[in-house]
Chains A and B, each alone.
Chain A
Amino acid sequence: MPDMKLTLNNEVVIQKSELDALLAAVRQQGYQTVGPVIKHEVLQYGPIEGISDLPQGYTSVQDAGSYRIKNTGHSRYFDITPGARTWKEYIYPPRKRLFTLSKENRHWERVKIEEEIPKYALVGVRPCELQAIGVLDAVLVRKDFTDPDYFARRSRLFILAVDCLHPGDTCFCASMGSGPEAGEGYDLKLTELDDCFLIRIGSDIGLAVMQELNWEPATAFCQQAAQRGLEHAARSMGRHIRDIESVPDAILDNLEHPHWIEVSARCMSCGNCTFVCPTCFCWDAVDEVSVTIKETSRYRVWDSCFNLAYSAQAGGNTRPSTKSRYRQWLSHKFGNWQKQFNVLGCVGCGRCITWCPAGIDVTEEVKVFQEVSS
Chain B
Amino acid sequence: MANKKSKKPTIAVYKFSSCDGCQLGILNLEDELLDLVGVVEIAHFLEARRQVLPGPYDIGLVEGSVSTPEEVQRIKEIRHSCGILIALGTCATAGGVQGLRNFEDLEELINIVYEHPEFIDSLPNSTRVADHVKVDYELWGCPVNKYQVVEALVAILQNRRPNLPQYSLCLECKRLGNPCVTVAYGMPCLGPIVRAGCGALCPSNGRGCYGCFGPMDTAEVDAFIPVLKSHQRYPGEAVRLLRTISGYAPAFVDAAELILAQEEE
Which A residues contact B (CB, under 8 angstroms)? 40-42, 44, 65-68, 83-85, 89, 94-95, 265-272, 275-276, 286-287, 289-293, 301-302, 304, 306-309, 322, 354-355, 357-359
B185 CB within 8 Å of chain A: yes
A278 to nearest B CB, angstroms?
13
A272 and B163 in contact, given A292-B39, A302-B171 (Cβ under 8 angstroms): no
- Please measure, in the bound complex, the distance between the C-alpha atom of A307 and the C-alpha atom of B168, giving whole angstroms: 8
- Please measure, in the bound complex, the distance between the C-alpha atom of A67 and the C-alpha atom of B184, giving whole angstroms: 5
User: B177 to chain A: which residues have CB within 8 Å?
Assistant: 44, 85, 89, 94
Q: Name A84's contact: one of B166, B179, B227 (CB within 8 Å).
A: B179
Q: Name A307's contact: one of B171, B179, B222 (CB within 8 Å).
A: B171
B103 CB within 8 Å of chain A: no
B113 CB within 8 Å of chain A: no
Contact A268 B193 (CB under 8 A): yes
Contact B183 A65 (CB under 8 A): yes
Contact B218 A84 (CB under 8 A): no
Q: Name B179's contact: one of A83, A267, A304 (CB within 8 Å).
A: A83
Contact B183 A287 (CB under 8 A): no
Contact A275 B170 (CB under 8 A): yes
Contact A290 B35 (CB under 8 A): yes
User: A65 to chain B: which residues have CB within 8 Å?
Assistant: 182-183, 227
Contact with A along B179-199 (1 / 0, CB 8 A): 110111110010111000000
Contact A308 B223 (CB under 8 A): no
- Please measure, in the bound complex, the distance between the C-alpha atom of A171 and the C-alpha atom of B154, giving whole angstroms: 47
User: A302 to chain B: which residues have CB within 8 Å?
Assistant: 171, 174-175
Q: Name B192's contact: one of A268, A287, A292, A308 (CB within 8 Å).
A: A268
A287 and B167 in contact, given A268-B220, A358-B223 (Cβ under 8 angstroms): no
B53 to nearest A CB, angstroms?
20
Contact A304 B154 (CB under 8 A): no
Contact A308 B35 (CB under 8 A): no
A327 to nearest B CB, angstroms?
15
Contact B180 A272 (CB under 8 A): yes
B215 to nearest A CB, angstroms?
11
A167 to nearest B CB, angstroms?
19
Q: Name B150's contact: one of A41, A66, A291 (CB within 8 Å).
A: A291
- Please measure, in the bound complex, the distance between the C-alpha atom of A266 and the C-alpha atom of B224, giving whole angstroms: 8
B110 to nearest A CB, angstroms?
39
- Please measure, in the bound complex, the distance between the C-alpha atom of A144 and the C-alpha atom of B186, giving whole angstroms: 45
Contact with A along B31-65 (1 / 0, CB 8 A): 01001101100000000000000000000000000
Contact B223 A266 (CB under 8 A): yes
B237 CB within 8 Å of chain A: no
B262 CB within 8 Å of chain A: no
User: A44 to chain B: which residues have CB within 8 Å?
Assistant: 177, 179
Besides the known contacts A42-B179, A307-B171, 20 further A-B residue pairs in the complex with CB atoms under 8 A apart: A41-B185, A67-B184, A268-B193, A268-B220, A268-B224, A269-B220, A271-B171, A291-B32, A292-B38, A292-B39, A293-B154, A293-B157, A293-B158, A306-B167, A309-B166, A322-B218, A355-B183, A357-B170, A357-B189, A357-B192
B236 CB within 8 Å of chain A: no
A134 to nearest B CB, angstroms?
23
User: A275 to chain B: which residues have CB within 8 Å?
Assistant: 170-171, 174-175
Contact B175 A304 (CB under 8 A): no
Contact A269 B158 (CB under 8 A): no
B206 CB within 8 Å of chain A: yes
Contact B163 A304 (CB under 8 A): no
With a 10 A CB-CB cut-off, give which of A291, A292, A306 has the most chain B CB atoms: A291
Contact B175 A301 (CB under 8 A): yes
Q: Name B206's contact: one of A40, A84, A267, A270 (CB within 8 Å).
A: A40
B257 CB within 8 Å of chain A: no
User: A268 to chain B: which residues have CB within 8 Å?
Assistant: 168, 192-193, 220, 223-224, 227
List, sorted by A's number, 13 A–B pairs whose CB atoms are closer than 8 Å. Answer: A66-B186, A84-B180, A94-B175, A268-B193, A270-B191, A271-B167, A290-B35, A306-B167, A307-B166, A308-B167, A308-B217, A357-B183, A358-B192
- Closest-by-CB residue of B relative to A64 is B183
Q: Name B167's contact: one of A66, A309, A355 (CB within 8 Å).
A: A309
A352 to nearest B CB, angstroms?
11
A159 to nearest B CB, angstroms?
21
A42 and B184 in contact, given A271-B167, A286-B163, A291-B150 (Cβ under 8 angstroms): yes
- Please measure, in the bound complex, the distance between the C-alpha atom of A308 and the C-alpha atom of B223, giving whole angstroms: 17
Contact A265 B223 (CB under 8 A): yes
- Closest-by-CB residue of B relative to A65 is B183
User: B227 to chain A: which residues have CB within 8 Å?
Assistant: 65, 268, 357-359
Q: Name A67's contact: one of B183, B193, B217, B218 (CB within 8 Å).
A: B183
B136-155 interface with A by 8 A CB criterion: 150, 153-154
- Please measure, in the bound complex, the distance between the C-alpha atom of A357 and the C-alpha atom of B183, giving whole angstroms: 6
